[in-house]
Amino acid sequence: MRISDRTNSFSFNWKRPFLKTANILHLLKPARFTAPDRHLLLFRNFIILSLAASVILLGVAAYQSWSLDTTVLLWYILAFILPFEFFLLALYSHFLYTRCKLKTLDQTQELGLFLYSTITAVSMAIDAKEQIEYGNILKVRDVSLVLAENHPQKHRLDRDGVAIAALVHDIGKLAVPEGILNKPGGLTESEVAIVKRHAEIGADLLETVPFPPPVTMAVRHHHERWEGGGYPSGISAEKIPLEARILAVADAYVSLRSSRPFRPPMDPEKARKIILEGDGILYDPTVVNVFREHVAVIESIIIRNISENGSTLLEKVKEGLESNNTGQKHDISLVFSNISFPHREMQAEFEITRNMAKTLSLKETFNILVTWIKRFVPYTSCVVYRFDSERDSLKARHVEGRSKILMGDISIPLGKGVSGQVALDLKPRFGIPPKPDFPPEKEITGLKDCLVVPMVAQGETESIKSPAEPGLIGVIALYADEEDFYTLEHLKLMSVIAQHAAMAINNSIIHSETREDAFTDSLTGLPNIRFFKASIDNEIHRAQRLNYPINFLMMDLDDFKAVNDVYGHQEGDRILVEIGELLKEQFRKSDICIRYGGDEFLAILPGVGTDTAELTMERINSIFAETIFRAANGDPLKVGISIGSSSYPGDGSSPEVLLETADRDMYRNKKEKRETNRTYRQASITPSNHEDDKDNPPEQ
């Protein structure tokens, strides 16, 4: 626009306003409104521009008001239109910003949900590795949130931070060997030290991700104690982050109420008592008080079925975020099962075969079988049927669970009922009502599903041409009180178990009581060298097939001949029995401790590597150094032990080579001990050891 003088008319460039407007519209693209301050500044400027334009244009029009030409009229029109245009632009900018903000919020929430579900999935995978119940980590999270939301200082807590910390608190267990995590017995000092590292390792790992500080601090310190002495830092009281104090109580209670490889779940009263006893000692008194007031809500979280009910987050994930482009959904519990099943299958085969191999008694074999089945495949009732070839029928030989007495004498003709049909065609079945298995007069009710698998001696399945053919041992029938309880995964596990159960039961049938005695040391009750020779080839073959190591420990008592010489062989035998019991306690249930002969013992450690074997040797040496045996007259007896080891496949693949290597290593250890003791005795002679020196002190 150009003004020449007061009396001349205006010359107006019509393109300029539209060019400016186009530039302004360019600035209003949604990408420009990522910062709220920029939007507010732009909105304010538009309002100021509209007011300024009105004042200027009205002023100019008033100044030229003496003239009535078209230019003056144009200025009056612009004085009202142009400010209105700026005002519309301001409203448009506000609309774009609001729409962009809502879209960004939705995207942020969706991204947060994805990230949160990813953290949950990883945490549940860690649970699967540790063979913990499905959904256990979600229980820790929900219990932590109950404690946090009802804590007097909840204003200090970040709810999302507490939830994330609860989900990832055990991520450091990725660095702990599975053999330690799933060890059925107690841990050694070295193994405990390894486990204690998981909190610090987990926190260090999380520090590589931009989590809020409370998350990493809670993970690092959730094993600290209120009075101090916890790990990793040993801090106490208020120095422990509040999130960590909450997580400590939640983790402890859920752990007590859950099954572990070394114990079943505790009942609610006992678990609650343990938590309350830690008030002011292990746990923050304020957190324990919140736990006490809301224990009913917490217990309801523990007993609920996570796989069915789930949490709000997991329901959203299952309903939407887990759907792919084709609309297919994936069940979280199925994913968890797929992660844990291969390990469970190997563990089932490993544990059951190891434990049943320890006995040739048919009764003990049945007891071991149904006990270990319960750990891997739940049941209401379990019946082991033996095949009677003379009567072509199945006879219940061992019953566990509900209706034990009623089922104890059941006889099922071959081809009749579910179990009889499985025995006839050797095809396992599940998902069928089990009523045909029970005679009407037994009045067995409440069982709605069954899983039945045949037991056939290995290598003889193809040779069975009729029910009377050798090879069919019987069937294992599991009964449940819920419809459609058993799944394909249960069937796979039971098929593996039945295969090894058939071998163990067949061996128990073949071997008579005298043969059984031949494989047992009559003095200590431990397996003897005959058992070792009969089973070692199968042990090595199984290790080769499943690709796991075996360690052999050869153990010899130091100078035990002196015990026999001084106290007699009868007393020496009694001490040997005690030593046998002591050694048996140092090994896992899956290990085999053998009396090799005289005062020599042999231990077979399946699935144990060299490092773990060395820890076991150290533990045994420490136990013998601390243990004092007593003779019949009360004299204290110290018995030392020398240990050598060999490892399959590292030191060889044949039993002879492995035993020779372990024996050579044991004598090397014995020689080192003798040299050490000789040096110690020479250096430790003092005047107090010689009574004559007291009466005849040396001349000055």
Active-site positions read 599
Token pair belonging to 365: 């074999």
Reference 80, options 59, 57, 64; nearest CA is 57
Distance CA 593, CA 208 (A): 46
Reference 397, options 374, 428, 363; nearest CA is 363
Distance CA 666, CA 644 (A): 4
Token pair belonging to 553: 């420990």
- Positive or negative, the CA dihedral 620, 546, 133, 162 is positive
Q: Which helix (H) or strand (E) holds 623?
A: helix 610-626
Distance CA 348, CA 498 (A): 11
Distance CA 274, CA 446 (A): 36
Residue with tokens 């809020």: 212
Q: Give the residues across from 400 on adjacent strands.
A: 382
Residue with tokens 């774009």: 96
Confirm if 402 and 422 have CB atoms less than 8 A apart.
Answer: no
**Three-state DSSP class for residue 41:** helix
Describe the crossing of helices 136-149 and 159-168 by its angle, rounded to 10 degrees.
150
Confirm if 173 and 126 have CB atoms less than 8 A apart.
Answer: yes
Distance CA 423, CA 473 (A): 9
Cα dist from 365 to 371, 503, 506, whole Å = 10, 11, 10
Q: Which helix (H) or strand (E) holds 505?
A: helix 488-510
Q: How many Å from the N-terminal Cα to the C-terminal Cα in the chain?
A: 127
Determine the residue type at 357.
A
Confirm if 489 and 509 have CB atoms less than 8 A apart.
Answer: no
Q: Which helix (H) or strand (E) holds 208?
A: none
Distance CA 630, CA 563 (A): 11
Confirm if 191 and 595 have CB atoms less than 8 A apart.
Answer: no
**Three-state DSSP class for residue 165:** helix
Reference 246, options 205, 285, 211; nearest CA is 285
Interior/surface letters 55-72, b for 16+ CB within 10 angstroms, e for the rest: eebbebbeebeeeeeebb
The distance of Cα 191 from the centroid of its chain, to the nearest Å, equals 17
